[in-house]
Amino acid sequence: MKSSTSKFILMLVVALIVFSACRPKELESTVMAVNSQSYDDALKHANDAVKAYPENAEAWYYLGFLSAEHTKDYAKMNEAFDKVLSLNPAQRVNLSGGTVAAKDAITQIRTGKFAENYNSGIKMIQDAQALTDDTQKKEKFAQARDKLQVASEIDPSRTEPYRPLAMANIFLGDTTKAEAALEQGLAKMPNDEMMVIASAEVYSMTGNFEKSEEMFKKALQINPNNSDAYQKLGMMESTRKNWDKANEYYTKAIEMDPDNADLAYNIGVSLYNQQKTDEAIPYFVKSLESEPDNEITFNILANCYVRTQTKVDEGIVFMEKATQMYPENATYWEYLAIMYGNKGMGKEANEAFKKSQELKNN
């Protein structure tokens, strides 16, 4: 038994010696330097190895490994790793104290480095948004941009970095780089709904409304039930004062998202601007149900009730509530006086009008 064990150990030693001997001296020097953590020497030897033996997958692996771990030159890392995968993806290489196939080692390294930089970039964006000092905020966004840019270079096949990268560039005032980031993402995932929507939103922020509209329409081709895309298209038509087209988009959006207060408000504004006051009122009412303290909506709804001839009773109830909520608002008392007058309530109208004048004179 002892003899068999001795023979096995001897065979293993011989195998290791043979394996080592099979390596070119430049590559063996690389491995030894990596094992001793002499990374500058290792990098020199790795460069020598790939020059002397350009078809040696293991040499390219170590060059990629050192580019990732030591110099953080991820462009060179990818060049080296891609070379490995084209030569011999099954090449056995050292990683974390063991040997694995090169393709598995490369996946592990790329995934780890991507996560490290991407997660750091996202955290920096969150930190930047919480800052109140503009200088500090800008510095943090710049750091986030750099991390996300690195993440996109580490694994170009991943699309996650492009939207936050574009947002960071927008805050830093570089719309050209923001749009370039989006184009990269779209080139990789042209029919990804989230990427298309993100692109549409960023193009809108950069003032490229024609491209933004194109992307929102493309999003609807991908998913006809995207209420947000309909709403944004409605808002675009509203800015052009194409009220009928805006209402067409808004109507489709609210069918899918009936509890959206912002959407209800936008429809109300569109109808109001078309002098369709009575039709606008229910949408402003709906918006206030979700945001009862929104004074802007409150004001415009009050104005609608003053104009209506068909919702007088409803208007009186609303204006009485308005004067209770905002008793120092002279305009609301004046509106209430008008509503009382429309109802033929002369005494109440006079009292409300008197109150409005007192407030205006104070």
Does residue 164 register a pLDDT over 70? yes
pLDDT digits (tens, 9 = 90+) for 9-45: 333 333 333 344 468 899 999 999 998 999 999 999 9
Tens of pLDDT, residues 287-318: 999 888 888 999 999 999 998 888 999 999 99
Q: Is 167 exposed, middle or buried (0-12, 13-18, 19+ CB in 10 A)?
A: buried
For residue 6, name the pLDDT band (cuts at 50, 70, 90).
very low
Q: Is the dihedral of CA 313, 318, 324, 330 positive or negative?
A: negative
221 vs 224: CA distance, rounded Å: 6
Q: What is the pLDDT of residues 61-100, one digit of tens each?
A: 999 999 999 999 999 999 999 999 999 999 999 877 788 9
What kind of fold does domain 17-110 have according to CATH? 1.25.40
Cα–Cα distance measured from residue 59 to residue 255, given in angstroms and rounded to the nearest whole number = 61
Evaluate if residue 235 carries a pLDDT over 60: yes
What are the sequence ranges of the domains in the chain?
17-110
pTM for the structure as a whole: 0.64
Write down the mean pLDDT value for the chain.
Answer: 89
Q: Residues 280, 303: contact at Cβ < 8 Å?
A: no
**Beta carbons of 54 and 38 less than 8 angstroms apart:** no
pLDDT value of residue 189: 84
Q: Average pLDDT for residues 320-346, to the nearest whole number?
A: 92
In the chain, the percentage of residues whose pLDDT exceeds 70 is 94
Non-local CB neighbours of 260 within 8 Å, separated by 6+ positions: 227, 231, 253, 254
* Strand partners for 94: 99
